[in-house]
Amino acid sequence: MTTDHQDTDTTILDTDVLVVGAGPAGLMLATELRLGGAEVVVVDQRPGPTTESRASTLHARTMEILDSRGLLDELGTPPCEPRGHFGGVPLDLTLPSPHPGQWKVAQTRTEELLQRRAAVLGADLRRRHQLLSLTAEDGVEAEAIGPYGPVRIRARYLVGCDGEDSTVRRLVRAPFPGKDAARELLRADVSGVEVADRRFQRLEHGLAIAATREGVTRVMVHEFGRPAAERGGAEPDFAEVTDVWKRVTGEDISQGTPLWVNAFGDANRQLAHYRHGRVLFAGDAAHRQMPSGGQALNLGVQDAFNLGWKLAAVVRGSAGEDLLDSYHSERHTVGRQVLANIRAQVELLLGGPEVEPARALLTELVALDGVRQHLAGMISGLGIRYDVEGPEIDSGAHPLLGRRLPDAWLEPAERGARRRTTELLRTGRGLLLSLDGDGAPALRATAAPWSDRVAFVADRPAAGGPLPTGQALLVRPDGYVAWAGSGPAGLARALTRWFGTLAADD
């Protein structure tokens, strides 16, 4: 349990997990840790959710995740756009999901939502607290400076969710290979201008994008061959954006009022290891990328969703530390794939006339539904398949193994109302879902010793849905299928792997 006391002028906190950074990744992690029963302190140097104009897209898998925790009602019905792009080539993102497409939600709203949820679940969020130093051996000891003076936090684990310029990464000297920015996109949110909407318009001298919503026009521009500027962390001037816009489009937008100006470089780096003993990383602290296709925030939120239940199980003592290694192997693999697709997109987007043949070929390829589905699966996060049986899932394995549990209606086997599979994930526990097979009693008996961690549900899948009748699925708290079968063979091994060994008195 988090405790708090004063030692001379230093506040001392003891907790299970210290999360550094209350951006989308840190806040999602805090909610999942609390749901899993871990005590958590979150420190962030900012006074509140971001006020910057940042990410504005929630992809289908992130929406499913929010849905699985009952968080969608609070978002209302945000605008949804089925069409996305790959390097500026139009790409229909629609795949089977209750939430296909890109949902337009400002990052501020996402952070507010997750912050409220973290508070309701009892996370101890300390704003205006800046992490200064840390040591990690058997546990972690961190020093922060808060509004009332120094704070020392002792925790069993620390997770750096402190963004692309991560202090935690620097303090633990974590290798962060990759490349620095060579090119950039300039961006400004501007009022008082009239600019036609442009989706990735490639002109003779550069790329121009413009979209107007509620009286504010967001322009993005890159001039072919222009290198990324060295700005020392500062944002570009509006005049720089208007000059480049003029050279690329011939239009003068300098009379507009800039509400927000920034530049995105094409730096592309990923931590070699997401886990350094008792220090772990999630979100932009673990990977730096151009936010092409709106993937950056979604990638970080999904890192946190993968880590939260695992770390909670480890601090509760119900799982061994090897569960944390699966966090690295699963999310590093996904991150590597996303960073690679972003590098490819950057070439297609920011390259000059020399990339036109590759763009033309890609345009032909995305007309093939298999190609479209592959790219849409990667960008939306719906295509993820974890190697839950490691090291590689057998090609003859059950098609749902390692994939997310599809959202589907279930008819009660005995009494009760119809319900959706997604609703069964609300508690954050694992799930053994027996789908109208005759092996239910044997499955229930096998899973009984884990009943504090894994709920047993025996229902019938609604006709015509994506779930197989007569089979059973073991589903992790993050919604991924860890075992599938029609009898109990292999179930105890999968339960042990993902939900821990049993204590002597279990």
Ligand X SMILES: Cc1cc2nc3c(=O)[nH]c(=O)nc-3n(C[C@H](O)[C@H](O)[C@H](O)COP(=O)(O)OP(=O)(O)OC[C@H]3O[C@@H](n4cnc5c(N)ncnc54)[C@H](O)[C@@H]3O)c2cc1C
Residues forming contacts to ligand X in the complex (CB under 6 A) are: 20-26, 43-46, 52, 54-57, 107, 130-131, 161-163, 167, 262, 283-284, 291, 294, 296-297, 300
Nearest 5°: the CA angle 337, 294, 232 is 90
CB of 342 to ligand X, least distance (A): 10
The answer to whether 205 and 247 have CB atoms below 8 angstroms apart is yes
Instruction: For the CB of residue 114, give the shortest distance to ligand X in the complex, in Å.
Output: 10
Nearer to ligand X, 41 or 72 (CB): 41
- Nearer CB in complex with ligand X: 291/308: 291
Which of 176/409 has CB closer to ligand X? 176
User: Residue 446: CB partners within 8 Å, gap ≥ 6?
Assistant: 488, 491, 492, 495
Q: From the CB of 458, what's the least distance to ligand X, in Å?
A: 39
Q: Decide: 410 and 461 in contact? Cβ < 8 Å.
A: yes
Q: How far is the CB of 52 from ligand X (least distance, A)?
A: 5
* Locus of tokens 């920015």: 181
Nearer to ligand X, 163 or 437 (CB): 163
Least Å distance between CB 192 and ligand X? 22
Name the 3-class secondary structure at 118: helix
User: Which residue, 146 or 352, is less far from ligand X as judged by CB?
Assistant: 146
Q: Which residues contact 178 (CB under 8 A, 6 or more apart)?
A: 267, 268, 269, 270, 288, 339
List CB contacts of 203: < 8 A, sequence separation 6 or more.
248, 249
The structure tokens listed for 165 are: 């310029």
Least distance in Å: CB of 179 to ligand X? 18
Q: Closer to ligand X by CB, 23 or 461: give it.
A: 23
Residue 28: exposure state from Cβ atoms within 10 A (0-12, 13-18, ≥19): buried
Using CB atoms within 10 A of its CB, is residue 505 exposed (0-12), middle (13-18) or buried (19+)?
A: exposed
**Is the separation of the CB atoms in 130 and 144 below 8 Å?**
yes
The CB-of-290 to ligand X minimum distance in angstroms stands at 9
φ, ψ (nearest 5 deg) of residue 477: -60, -25
CB of 185 to ligand X, least distance (A): 10
Joined together, the tokens standing for residue 195 give: 């600019």
Instruction: Quote the tokens at residue 300.
Output: 């970080």
Question: Would you say 59 or 359 has its CB closer to ligand X?
Answer: 59
Give whichever of 156 and 287 is closer to ligand X, judged by the CB atom.
287
Report the 3 state secondary structure along 84-112.
EEECCEEEECCCCCCCCCEEECCHHHHHH
d(CA 504, CA 491): 20
Nearer to ligand X, 25 or 181 (CB): 25
Least gap, CB of 499 to ligand X (angstroms): 28
